[in-house]
Amino acid sequence: MNTINSLLEKIESAKALDFGTIFNESIELFKKTWLQGFLLQLFTIIIMMPVIIILYLPLIGMIIAQQESGYSDPEAFSGLFAGMSILYVLFVIVGIFVLGALTVALNAAFFRIMQKLDYNQAVTTSDFFYFVKGKYLSKIFVLMLASFGIAILAALLCYLPIFYVMIPLSYFSLIYAFNPELSVGEIVKTSFKLGHKKWLLTFGLMIVASILSQIVGFLLCGIGLLFTASFVYHPIYLIYKNSIGFNDTDPIQEIGTLSE
């Protein structure tokens, strides 16, 4: 189990990483994880579907009603939004945050799946729901609120700081995935420490990975994005792996060693 001090020490003493090496390793790892990455996108779409339906259902209903009556009222849209109750708006906002927390839980689980495949271990579909439990979701919800607050604060500061904080924010779910025992404050602190230490490398890899995944996805008639979108997670996973690493000791082996 990693403590906050050991994590910070590992980050501080982490060796310099090569852009090309990490990128090539990301491609090799993606060859093992592309199917699970596709499932991640499908599960994310399924989870967010209720919010999309609730958000657009009144708008769709109004459009259908106008088509049936044959009368187009340009003021209807403004009237619709003005007539929405505060309760409805709050319901939508809470729904977005709750389902957003489930999405973060899936992303964190995907990092654990990625680690298993990286070490040639077996995975199952149920591994995606490792963090979809009360004890994990409550912390994920607070972590998501913290990331939202940091992003809003950065945006209020003339948007320029958002380019800096976007890198530490990208490490939130990754740090949590392998260190769920840490508090939210410790996860934020560790993410900013690693994000600051490897900011330029992470930024460059994420930009290149994002562009490459979109190009390949569009070349595969658009539907390919479901298969390639997860590629952007691989570079930050490998940066974490090579900067902090994992506790690889098997508990059973550890017991055997102690008995000797």
> How far apart (Å, rounded) are the C-alpha atoms in residues 180 and 187?
9
Residue 133 domain-assigned (yes or no): yes
Does position 30 have pLDDT exceeding 60, yes or no? yes
Asked, for residue 220, whether it belongs to a domain, the answer is yes
- pLDDT higher at 219 or 21: 21
Residue 48 belongs to some domain of the structure: yes
Contact of 196 with 172, CB cutoff 8 Å = no
Q: Which domain holds residue 16?
A: 4-72+86-244
Residue 181 lies in a domain: yes
> What is the reported pLDDT for 187?
96
Measured CA to CA in angstroms, residue 182 lies from 54, 139, 177, 224 at distances of 35, 10, 10, 36
3-class SS shares of the chain: helix, strand, coil, % to 5: 80, 0, 20
Tens of pLDDT, residue by residue over 116-149, are 999 999 999 999 999 998 889 999 999 999 999 9
In a domain, 60, yes or no: yes
Which pLDDT score is estimated for 75?
Answer: 53
Residue 80 is assigned to a structural domain of this protein: no
The per-residue pLDDT for 80 is 53
Residue 253 in any domain: the answer is no
Report the number of distinct structural domains present in the chain. 1
Residue 257 lies in a domain: no
